Amino acid sequence: DAGVIQSPRHEVTEMGQEVTLRCKPISGHNSLFWYRQTMMRGLELLIYFNNNVPIDDSGMPEDRFSAKMPNASFSTLKIQPSEPRDSAVYFCASRGTGSTNEKLFFGSGTQLSVL
Amino acid sequence: DAKTTQPNSMESNEEEPVHLPCNHSTISGTDYIHWYRQLPSQGPEYVIHGLTSNVNNRMASLAIAEDRKSSTLILHRATLRDAAVYYCMLTGGTSYGKLTFGQGTILTVHP
């Protein structure tokens, strides 16, 4: 099992550019979470999908952020336009089909730097 | 969401037991207690979780107070690899298992 796979590992971009972060959950998992981590705010939940449907996006900071899950094996988090304050590590996590109290598996994260 | 309170930091010596406390006085009857840890430059990883009874796995033990208002994560023999930030969180029956991370406890392990 390859675990949760995120790409790219590092992304450096200029303010105003579009950024797309990608996540491949563990095969067979039906829940997917996007988190953001900064020194100031710690780990914040951005959005949660269940069976490819967004269930809770209350953590998405603003309209510049959007997330999609076109199928069970792929999700994207897009920032357009990007701003320096979006610089953070973005984590994707997935969970299996059992209880909602099952453990989450996290990817290695994408380090985003917006200059 | 019910809140948890953890010490900002703790220190231990290698091969000694470590007891990491967590207070959750507003816990509800359906809240599970979850522990995750985050090693430097890595994503969080699951450690253990429980509801009422104490739990053991290959990584750690979870001791839950009888009134469930506090819990303790026990690392039986700390290693240098256990140096990490440890997060204690609650998940309720109505929050789809959402994990809300606090600041956690930074564990330093001395050789």
Contact A42 B102 (CB under 8 A): yes
Predicted local distance difference test score (pLDDT) of residue B3: 86
What integer pLDDT is reported at residue B30 of this predicted model? 84
Q: According to the model, what pLDDT value does residue B92 have?
A: 67
Tens digits of per-residue pLDDT, B54-111?
999 999 999 999 999 999 999 999 999 999 999 999 886 556 777 888 899 999 999 9
The rounded Cα A66 to chain-centroid distance in angstroms is 10
Per-residue pLDDT band for A27 (boundaries 50, 70, 90) equals very high
Give the pLDDT score at A114: 98
Residues 21-40 of B with CB under 8 A from A: 32, 34, 36
One-letter-per-residue 3-state SS of A29-64:
CCEEEEEEEECCCEEEEEEEEECCEEEECCCCCCCC
Scanning every residue of chain A, which has its alpha carbon at the shortest distance from the alpha carbon of B96?
Answer: A100
Q: Which residue of B has its CA nearest to A92?
A: B43
Question: Each residue of B14-63: pLDDT tens digit?
Answer: 999 999 999 999 898 888 999 999 999 999 999 999 999 999 999 999 99
How many whole angstroms separate alpha carbon B75 and alpha carbon B77? 6
Q: Does B97 touch chain A (CB under 8 A)?
A: yes
Beta bridge partners of B38: B85
Establish if A107 touches chain B: CB-CB under 8 angstroms. Answer: yes
Residue whose entry in the numeric block shows the structure tokens 């303790």: B72
Q: Minimal Cα distance from B93: which residue of A? A: A100
| pLDDT greater than 80 at residue A16 | yes
Chain B residues in contact with A95 (beta carbon < 8 A): 97
Average pLDDT of the residues in A30-35? 94
Contacts A90 to B, Cβ<8 Å = none
Residue B74 near residue B61, CB atoms below 8 Å: yes
Closest CA to A69 of A51, A45, A93: A51
Beta bridge pairs of residue B74: B19, B61
Higher pLDDT, B90 or A21: A21
Rg of chain B over all Cα atoms, to the nearest angstrom: 13
> Which of A48, A106, A108 is opposite residue B96, by nearest beta carbon?
A48
Residue A74 — very low, low, confident or very high, per pLDDT cuts 50/70/90? very high
Residue B70 vs residues A94, B22, B58: alpha-carbon distances, Å = 28, 6, 22
B103 touches chain A (CB under 8 A): yes
CA atoms within 13 A on the CB side of A37: 21
Taking alpha carbons only, the member of A35, A48, A46 closest to residue A91 is: A35
Under the banding of pLDDT at 50, 70 and 90, the label for residue A62 is confident
pLDDT of residue B2: 65
What is the model's pLDDT at position B94? Answer: 56
**pLDDT of amino acid B23:** 96
pLDDT at A83 > cutoff 60: yes
Residue of higher predicted confidence among B2 and A8: A8
Pairing mode, if any, of strands A110-114 and A10-13?
parallel
Contact B96 A56 (CB under 8 A): yes
Q: Is B58 on the interface with A (CB under 8 A)?
A: no
The C-alpha of B94 sits at a distance from chain A's nearest C-alpha, in angstroms, of 10
Cα–Cα distance for residue pair B2/B22, rounded to 1 Å? 13
